[in-house]
Structure 1
Amino acid sequence: MNEISKKDQLYELIRANPFISQQDLAVQLRLSRSAVAGYIAGLIRDRRLLGRAYVLPDNRPIVCLGGANLDRKLRSTSTLRMGTSNPARQDESFGGVARNIAENLARLSTPVSLITVIGDDSSGQALLQHAEGVGIDTRATLKLQGVCTGTYTAVLDDHGEMMLALADMALYDALTPEFLSTRQPQRASAALTVADMNLPRETLKLLLEDAARDAIALVIVAVSQPKMSHLPEDLHGLRLLILNQGELETRVGRQLKTEADLLAACRTVQLQGAKDVIVTRGGTGVIYTTAQGIAHLDAPDAHIVDVTGAGDAFAAAVCWSMFHGSDDLLLACRRGLRLSAMTLECEETVCPYLSADILSDIHNFDSVPASPQAFNALYQD
């Protein structure tokens, strides 16, 4: 076999498995390891590979790190009464903030990989099979012996609003900086990194340090007010923080009763190192930072069937917008609100009928429900 065909064959093996070792390549191609290294060096010179982890220039994924668990939703079939038994309907699906974001992205035809942890139970195996079935690369997942996969149980009222949620997610403590070091090839291939706050504080600190050093954009997504304690004080390296108003209040340690309070809180987070902040506010829309301060965007009308996963859909659409080269948070938030509204209107945690066309036809020149300029004018220093 001549040199050109050997190089092409090696290239195709790497396309099939970007994390294949040089030794495995050598065995499959019946070459010496030094010969394989020479071919790889040639592919890098030709710009067919981009170097570390054999990154393919047309296939760099969004790498999502954090929670992936079994979601149980108990929905009351009548007015919910506390302190007594209520008739309800139970649904089970796969959830977790990082996993939900990854599935939304996969259904939007985006290359995406998931770094998470599961137990050695049937729920964990089913979760991985489902993720791989929708197009998520799960090869970097940590599999623990003798533990159960994480669970999230939400109690919804008869209108679909969440009244209470219980999360069994102690296994995410295993996603340590030491573990992430074993997944460096996968992480180095990222076009964008998305992390949720199920990750331990020291792990988020490592991701921030890596983002500042390697210039790979990092988005951190909050998961709950209690887990805001996982967010380091120093946020330098953070491209974007996405959280709701309650989580922002927890971060700054005070209630945010006015729009001026929200502006001050966002500026505080930016002074801590975050480049931008998006604050979701349920049915009243979102607030996002701008060069002048902050701006508000109203939420579209939606017939609420189930609120579970709507915030994760919003975050996924924002990340999709960034992945496709847009640094415009107005456009990203418009896309996020559209995907969030679609999720609110379906029973599934992730809408099964998503496509990239849903977001790509939203442009800055569409009608905007609120004026950022008018909003900023009220709150300039």
Structure 2
Amino acid sequence: MTDQPKKEQLYELIRGNPFISQQELATQLGLSRSAVANYIATLVRERRILGRAYVLPDQRPVLCIGASNLDRKLRTTARLALGTSNPATLEESFGGVARNIAENLARLGTPTALVTAVGGDASGRALLAHAEEAGIDTRGALRLDGASSGTYTAVLDEDGEMVLALADMALNERLDPAFLATRQQQRAGAALIVADLNLPSESIAALLEDAQRDGVPLVLVAVSEPKMARLPRALPGLRLLILNEGELAARAGRALDGDDAIGAACRELQAQGVQDIVVTRGARGVLYTCATAPSGLARLDAPAARVVDVTGAGDAFAAAVCWSLYTSNGGSYNGSNDSDLALACRRGLQLSSLTIGCEQTVFPALTPGHLDGPAPAIPYNDSNLD
């Protein structure tokens, strides 16, 4: 017979920290490890927690894995002159594909966790503090004393056109398979994993392998054409791949002229193991795989948009797609039908248009209500989702 008060105390400790170890539980409760294991086994049988991850059924999060960094934009106030000092204004914001997706998801009311790498500097502390304030669980983040957090610095001319950009993203290489193995419990307890291709190729392969073994759905989000080389050739276990036309062409190894060529490239990816694919096309909307369409692809046009700053719009699209698939399936994503993916892409386009209409990387007033109604009616201008 179990000691009911001890079992309830243990349960509350797990609620407070789903990543707590059995040894920590034993120490705090004054129990042996074997007694703790027995209590946990009882809670699992009662379906009050889900297996070894100690995750409560109503709290399974979307777990985002990948880059966080500090974004800097330097804009000259006059004509740019090379080889000398130029007067400029500086804007700083929090960025990184995985971080941006996580913030959008948290603002949409989704239980969200972030596994990322930051340095032990002021930028790293600020990145995590901002994420936690937004409602993101950062306990799984890798904190590296003596290292500098990732940065992305863009130099813009007086017209706002980018002259050059410098990215220091080497810290993401520390998110290797050995580190990810230390977060296995957290990953196994997720409802959905969303990872960006800033991760090392070996880590992407490990996530695919785990997705096949553990059954936790995996969504991969491309970040650039060069980093498509990090995507393994075999992709079984991948539920959804989100990328733009240029990234798809980089994967295919050829130019893609028109919808037929894009469809052929998507079918090649599906033959390699991907279940569904979404191809963003800037102001021309998106294409997504659709089993009921004669060509295997369906198209959605982008809503009208007032363009202020396109930064973060692609990440917003990916976040809204994941949020829609997560909520449409009752807090899980075990695959989708054509109508689920169509709705997810419509919501993604809505959030993208909201994001490019504001100066911030993440639309600051975002709530689920923004994606439940019709697309906002705002003036049209050319934009780029990515």
TM-score w.r.t. structure 1 length? 0.90
Q: How far off its partner does 1:156 sit?
A: 4.7
Q: How far off its partner does 1:213 sit?
A: 1.5
Whether the 8 Å CA contact 1:288–1:294 is kept in 2: the answer is yes
The 1:9/1:205 distance shift into structure 2, 3 A limit, reads same
Whether the 8 Å CA contact 2:72–2:93 is kept in 1: the answer is yes
Distance 1:354 1:55 in 2: 27
Work out whether 1:348 is the aligned partner of 2:351: no
Q: How far off its partner does 1:82 sit?
A: 8.5
Q: How far off its partner does 1:85 sit?
A: 7.4
Q: How far off its partner does 1:80 sit?
A: 7.5
Distance 1:71 1:179 in 2: 25
Q: Matches of residues 263-342 of structure 1 in structure 2 within 5 Å? A: 263-291=263-291, 292=293, 293-326=296-329, 327=336, 328-342=340-354
Distance 1:329 1:111 in 2: 21
Q: How far off its partner does 1:285 sit?
A: 0.8
The one-letter code sitting in structure 1 at the alignment partner of 2:104 is: N
Q: Matches of residues 31-180 of structure 1 in structure 2 within 5 Å? A: 31-75=31-75, 88-156=88-156, 164-180=164-180
The one-letter code sitting in structure 1 at the alignment partner of 2:140 is: A
- Count of residue pairs brought into register by the alignment: 364
The 1:163/1:261 distance shift into structure 2, 3 A limit, reads farther
Whether the 8 Å CA contact 2:50–2:189 is kept in 1: the answer is no
CA displacement, residues 241-261 of structure 1 (integer Å, 9 cap, x when unaligned): 101111111110111121111
The 1:360/1:248 distance shift into structure 2, 3 A limit, reads same
The 1:164/1:236 distance shift into structure 2, 3 A limit, reads farther
Q: How far off its partner does 1:136 sit?
A: 0.9
CA displacement, residues 261-288 of structure 1 (integer Å, 9 cap, x when unaligned): 1111111111111111111111111111
Distance 1:59 1:91 in 2: 36
Q: How far off its partner does 1:74 sit?
A: 2.8
Distance 1:57 1:237 in 2: 23
CA displacement, residues 302-343 of structure 1 (integer Å, 9 cap, x when unaligned): 111111100000000001011113521110000001111111
CA displacement, residues 220-239 of structure 1 (integer Å, 9 cap, x when unaligned): 00111111111111111100
Unmatched 5+ stretches in structure 2: 330-335, 376-386
The one-letter code sitting in structure 2 at the alignment partner of 1:313 is: A
TM-score w.r.t. structure 2 length? 0.89
Q: Matches of residues 220-299 of structure 1 in structure 2 within 5 Å? A: 220-291=220-291, 292=293, 293-299=296-302
Distance 2:226 2:38 in 1: 51
Distance 1:257 1:26 in 2: 62
